[in-house]
Amino acid sequence: MPDSLSRRTLLRGLGVSLALPLFESMSATRLLAATSKAPETPLRMGFFYVPNGMHMPDWTPTKAGHGYEMPETLARLSKHRDKFNVLTGLTLDGAYAHGDGGGDHARSVAAFLTGAHPRKTNGADIQNGVSVDQFAAEQIGGATRFGSLELGLEESSQAGNCDSGYSCAYASNMSWRGPTSPVAKEIDPGALFDRLFAGQTVKETRRAKSVREKYRKSVLDFIQEDAKRLHQTLPEVDRRKLDEYLYAVRDVEKRIAGAERLGISEEGVPDYPRPSGVPRELANHSELMMDMITLAIQTDSSRILSFMFTNAGSNRSYPEIDVSEGHHELSHHGKSKHKQAQIAKINRFHVDQFGYLLKRLSSVSEGDGTLLDHCMLVYGSGISDGDRHNHDDLPILLAGGGAGQIKTGRHIRYENKTPLCNLYLWMMQQMGVKADKFGDSSAVLSELG
């Protein structure tokens, strides 16, 4: 293995750069012997938002600690139960009205990562707080190619009236670089792929993309010579790991290419490129994005990310799971058994997509564990019961081992009204971010380690 090989080494070709995963020969034990100093396996954090609250009876365990019985929605993650904690009692005070009237959906997203109470306006005078991902990226984002990634399945908006007088900027963005600067999310898997694996200049990127489209080449075709040379220098265990990684990249690329075509109908209509490049099926779209997240983490392209399944107050239907009514309308269930059952189906659908990511991260070995072992991933909503629009006792799940800092497999019940930002403060401190307070935090969240 060449002495200069490191996690920041890139395989290069025409307008293409491909970061490397962590090889066994980069492990702490080997490098300790060579340098007398072992590098730490990187720790990552991510935030995953679902809209319109949760059907809480199917989410909240009745027993605290280990060995709790998993309600029906959480049971979808039973294969990973020893890799996450369920946290109850956390509150998002900034999402409450505080005299501003309606708009709980927009506030729930705007406050979810900031802990701030957004100014009620649908004009240009938006005012929020800095989000936890951007606060952390400002300090430690320089360690990777991308300080943070902002992703989702529905486009961001920066203007318009989306919820009872609140700007669409609040309802469709949860990452905020500053009080007046929401960060739009990337929803196109192909565009994200290009960001991660394209060249270092716009000119090179456009040239490489043009060549790939003309000759239908894979990004891997451009770096194959570099990859072959590296393959010859690696020990057998790392050759297998490199082969697995390149296969994963090729597989995602093929699926993205497939998503850009409508296919051939039974009537024999030829396929043609889809203008958006985004899969029509939400599950396929989500899985591609989760695969891209896995590759981004595996290559240490970024250690901080946010992901919105849909925008606040989303009223999309879910025909793929036989839910024809709109999600937002169903969330105002008025205790209707039918509507609550439909809401629970949507909740389980979203949890399944998150479970797919946990499966992918668990399948990739890294250092002394897996990618998931070296992550802290928050999954949840800024609304508890969608009918009540309450922002206390939120549905929050923390997945990943935090590089050994988190004792998992538990239901941890906190005193109600405990600030959600206490969790964020704890997470940032594990990441090495200097912070004594964040948002409306009152202390560092306890009982996680």
Predicted pLDDT at 73: 98
For 279-322, the pLDDT digits (tens) are 889 999 999 999 999 989 988 989 999 999 999 999 999 999 99
Would the CA dihedral through 112, 98, 386, 91 be positive or negative? positive
Tokens of 73: 């929605």
- The letter for the amino acid at 228 is K
Distance CA 426, CA 297 (A): 21
Contact 351, 73 (CB under 8 A): yes
Rg (CA), the chain: 22
H/E segment holding residue 190:
helix 189-197
Predicted pLDDT at 314: 94
- What's the gap between Cα 357 and its chain centre? 9
Contact 153, 318 (CB under 8 A): no
Residue 354's closest CA among 252, 423, 286?
286
For 13-43, the pLDDT digits (tens) are 544 556 667 666 655 444 444 444 444 789 9
**Domains and their CATH numbers in the chain:** 7-39+200-263+273-277 (no CATH), 44-187+283-431 (3.40.720)
Predicted pLDDT at 194: 80
Percent helix, strand and coil across the chain, each rounded to 5? 40, 15, 45
pLDDT in tens, the chain (449 residues): 444 455 455 555 544 556 667 666 655 444 444 444 444 789 999 999 999 999 999 999 999 999 999 999 999 999 999 999 999 999 999 999 999 999 999 999 999 999 999 999 999 999 999 999 999 999 999 999 899 999 999 999 888 999 999 999 999 999 999 999 999 999 998 888 888 876 443 444 455 555 445 444 565 665 566 667 776 777 776 776 677 677 667 766 766 665 554 333 333 333 323 234 588 899 999 999 999 999 899 889 899 999 999 999 999 999 999 999 999 999 999 999 999 999 999 999 999 999 999 999 999 999 889 999 999 999 999 999 999 999 999 999 999 999 999 999 999 999 999 999 999 999 999 999 999 999 999 999 999 99
Percent of the chain with pLDDT over 90: 67
Residue 257, exposed/middle/buried by CB under 10 A (0-12, 13-18, 19+)?
middle
Contact 153, 48 (CB under 8 A): no
Predicted pLDDT at 414: 98
Residue 120, exposed/middle/buried by CB under 10 A (0-12, 13-18, 19+)?
buried
Contact 52, 66 (CB under 8 A): no
Distance CA 48, CA 381 (A): 8
Strands (E), 246-320: 304-308
Predicted pLDDT at 235: 78
Tokens of 433: 């971010």
- What's the gap between Cα 82 and its chain centre? 20
Distance CA 351, CA 374 (A): 21
Query: Is 234 in a helix, a strand, or coil?
Result: coil
